[in-house]
Amino acid sequence: MSYAIPAPAVPTVAVVGGDPFPVRRIYCVGRNYAAHAREMGHDPSREAPFFFMKPADAVVASGSTIPYPSQTSDYQHEIELVVALDKGGKNVSVEQALELVFGYAVGLDMTRRDLQAVAKKMGRPWDLSKGFDQSAPCGPLLPAADAGDLSKGAIWVKVNGEFRQQGDLSDLIWSVAETISYLSGMVELFPGDLIYTGTPDGVGPVVKGDHLQGHVDGLPGLDITIS
């Protein structure tokens, strides 16, 4: 097929021991750790999961240097477990949800927090506080068969060698299976979708020159530098 302009490249994430994973959509779960929900001023016991999105080409490979984004003076890190799907579906049951999973990775949901705060205050969409260029760093995907049990395990981020966020996957309010199931009731899921599953408390700002190291037990690490 021919196009009016050259077709853009397909965004991809590296896969341990395999070919790159093509990214279709990026879904992100908001406030999926109780302590983080509280630090953002909300009561997690009263909320169903909610989602926002980032563009597929916001993915950034581990080892990259990314620029401090424009129009913000409060650029923050949020460390997350990322789930990649190789099957899709609608209204998927919790019991079947993990059958859709290709693999897992360590991700960062980078956020222009000051823009988000203004959007919240004025009742406007969050899009440009969350879905901007290079806002979704993602480490290599480890296939699900090799990842083992990710219902628990340490998740953390260090900035310049110092811990900023520390949590455990067992503290997720909505498990990976529950999150997939709930999301599939709102939109049809497809192979190539990524789900960023939420962040522990301790989110905070980074500045030019900072080096971020992201970790989830059992998964390849994530290293990003801000320029």
Query: Which residues on neighbouring strands pair with residue 131, listed in sequence order?
Result: none
65-92 tens-digit pLDDT? 999 999 999 999 999 999 999 999 999 9
- pTM of the model as a whole: 0.95
The residue-averaged pLDDT of 120-148 equals 96
Quick one: which of 61, 153, 143 has its CA closest to 104?
143
Q: Helix/strand/coil (H, E, C) string of 126-180?
A: CHHHHCCCCCEEECCEEEHHHHCCCCCCEEEEEECCEEEEEEEHHHECCCHHHHH
CA distance 136 to 170: 23
Give me the domains of the chain, ranges plus CATH numbers.
12-226 (3.90.850.10)
First-to-last alpha carbon distance for the chain, in angstroms, is: 39
Q: Which of 54-58, 59-63, 145-149, 190-194 has the lowest mean pLDDT?
A: 145-149
pLDDT over 80 at 41, yes or no: no
